[in-house]
Amino acid sequence: MSNDLTKRNSGTGLSTAGDRPSVLNELIKSLPPEQQQKLAVKAAEALIEQEQKDLDAQRRFDGAGADMIRHVGLVNEHEKNKSDFTVTSKFQTASGETNVKVSKNNNTTVIVIAVVIAVIFFVMFSR
């Protein structure tokens, strides 16, 4: 079943590649064979370089994932100790760098000092 609206050009320039030949392909066809060969070599080099970059990014992503799992384990171990801690980590990911900082502050020292001061005031003013 066909519709006239699907066959009509919308005029937006957003058509599929099958509607007209690629400008780049037409340009390549117009080059002399020796220039086509040079262009093919450059294109192959660019593809190899891009594949290498993709592999490097994948390795960074995998490595950062493993490091983050170790980071979570380290933080869980520190939490079991019931003490204050700060763990700062930097991970090199595929798209850049991720910084993670985890802190646990019980403020036990502040509480102990406040209780001592309160006891001192209570003793001083109870007389």
Provide mean pLDDT across the span 62-84: 85
32-36, 50-54, 61-65, 78-82, range with greatest mean pLDDT: 50-54
Mean pLDDT of 3-30: 64
Judge whether residue 54 has pLDDT over 80: yes
Domain ranges within the chain, ordered by starting residue: 20-125
Contact 60, 54 (CB under 8 A): no
Whether the per-residue pLDDT at 1 is higher than 90: the answer is no
DSSP labels, 24-85: HHHHHHHS-HHHHHHHHHHHHHHHHHHHHHHHHHHHHHHHHHHHHHHHHHHHHHHHHTTS-E
Give the tens place of pLDDT for each residue, 75-124: 888 888 777 788 888 888 878 888 888 888 777 777 888 888 888 878 88
How far out from the chain centre does Cα 116 lie? 48
Tell which wins on pLDDT, 37 or 122.
37
Can you read off the two tokens belonging to residue 118?
Answer: 């309160």
Residue whose entry in the numeric block shows the structure tokens 């002399």: 32
